[in-house]
A and B are shown apart, each in its own frame.
Chain A
Amino acid sequence: MRLIDRNTILWLVVVAIIFSLVPIALGFNAYYVYLAAQIVLMAIMVLAWNIIGGYAGQLDLAATAYLGMGGAVAGLLLTFYGITPWVGVPLGALAAIGLAVLVGYPTFRFGIKEVWYALLTASLVVIVQRVFWLIYGSTEIYLPYYEWSWLYLRFSRYEPLYYILIVILLFVLWINIVIKRSRLGYYLAAIREDELAAEALGIDVRKYKLYALIIYAAILGFVGGIQVSLTSIVTYRMFDPWLAIVVAVVGLIGGLGSVPGVLVATVVLRTIEEYLRSTLGAVIPGLYLLIYGLLIVIVGILKPEGIGGFIESLKRRLHKGGTQ
């Protein structure tokens, strides 16, 4: 397995350039850069979900449990003990991995699949949220203020965090590509297509599903710490069951296991959502959600295989045109 090749580098460089130019195109407007950062954050979450949901085919609805876990650890360490996020964020990722193993090991050991897996992970978000609520209450905990500190990752502008998020996005894209081509990726694809057949072929299904879950949780835990720096607050609302479902829905719309499809779906859907909210939100509240929901239903009906399938068919058509 090659970790990197020319095509991948080209792909990543193009994505990096496009995303780096966004703040310039937005004229460094603080609000728009913040929204752009939120979109990149969502893209990272959906790409992380792609590993467990797209490659391994497990409908996981616990994205925000791991995200919030990482955010809570990094944020609380900074607020109460003054520990820099450079230490706190990796610790948050470790905490998320701990949670993933704690829940994932028995879940895969007892062979929980399909609907039951989806519901179990959805309940996990609520459980972690309530535990956090019982300990820290419903008040928001504010991170300490620094004018411009790289040590504590606190800035008076959003651009530094936006570029940090882009670096993470590129890393997650690369991980997605590497896993797809690796032995682990083929095992996961076999598990997704037919778990019984995969087990009969001698694949340790439990182990590889747990690996996928750990990678997914680690990415989310890590990015959770950055999210806390971005929003400046630690609150029980970070463990949002609704957002976890949205992550899975966007991943499904992007097309199971298709990296470009997932990336395009997230960026397009999130941008449309924010655009509709800012234009229609003040006129008729709630209308943007109606249009957004209808859009998702239409994509689901017209392209059940997601945007990834659309990109594939477009590519095939372009190739045909080239050879003829």
Chain B
Amino acid sequence: MGINIKKVYTLTFGLGIALTAVAAALIMTFSRADPYIGLLYGLLSWVIVAMGGLGGVMGVLWSGLIIGIIESLGMTLVSAGARELFIYLTFLIIIWLRPRGLFGRR
């Protein structure tokens, strides 16, 4: 159809990386930075996108909100060390119930 696949892939990849870098720069205003920080956010961001359903904006927004609220509630009500437990347990259960994510097409 005349779409330059290479160019589109490169452009979207670059755009994604640029936006991540901007977000990371904003995180630095209130959080620490170390070489291993990628491990903390890598899986988490991936989980949020997959939970919302790939290819949708609303889904990511909602799943980000859900994860954030559950994380904060779990940290204050149960134990701060159990923070990740709540995030990933929520993800596990939601994916079992909706295998393509919250707003993903079947």
**Which residues of A are at the interface with B, using a C-beta cutoff of 8 A?**
106-107, 110-113, 115-116, 119-120, 122-124, 126-127, 129-131, 133-134, 241-242, 286
Contacts and interface: CB of A to CB of B under 8 A. Distances in A.
B93 to A, nearest CB: 10
Contact of A123 (B35, B81, B82, B88): B88
B75 to A, nearest CB: 12
Given A115-B54, A123-B47, A241-B43, A107 B85 contact: no
B103 interface: no
Contacts of B84: 126-127, 129-130
A-B pairs, top 3 by smallest CB distance, nearest first, are A123-B88, A130-B85, A112-B99
Contacts of B50: 115-116, 119
Query: Which residue, of A123, A124, A133, has the highest number of chain B Cβ atoms within 10 A?
Result: A123
B95 A112 contact: yes
A111 B46 contact: no
A286 B36 CA distance: 11
A112 B95 CA distance: 8
Task: Give the size category of B's interface with A.
Answer: 20 to 34
Contacts, number: 60
Interface in B37-56: 39, 43, 46-47, 50, 54
Contacts of A134: 79, 81-82, 85
A121 to B, nearest CB: 10
9 contacts: A107-B96, A113-B99, A115-B50, A116-B101, A120-B91, A120-B95, A126-B85, A127-B85, A286-B35
Query: Which residue, of B79, B92, B97, B100, has the highest number of chain A Cβ atoms within 10 A?
Result: B92
Interface of A is mostly: helix
Contact of B89 (A116, A122, A127): A127
Contact of A106 (B54, B89, B96): B96
Interface in B60-106: 79, 81-82, 84-85, 88-89, 91-92, 95-97, 99-101
Given A119-B46, A134-B81, A126 B88 contact: yes
Contacts of B96: 106-107, 110, 112
B46 A130 contact: no
A114 B35 CA distance: 29
A271 B81 CA distance: 35
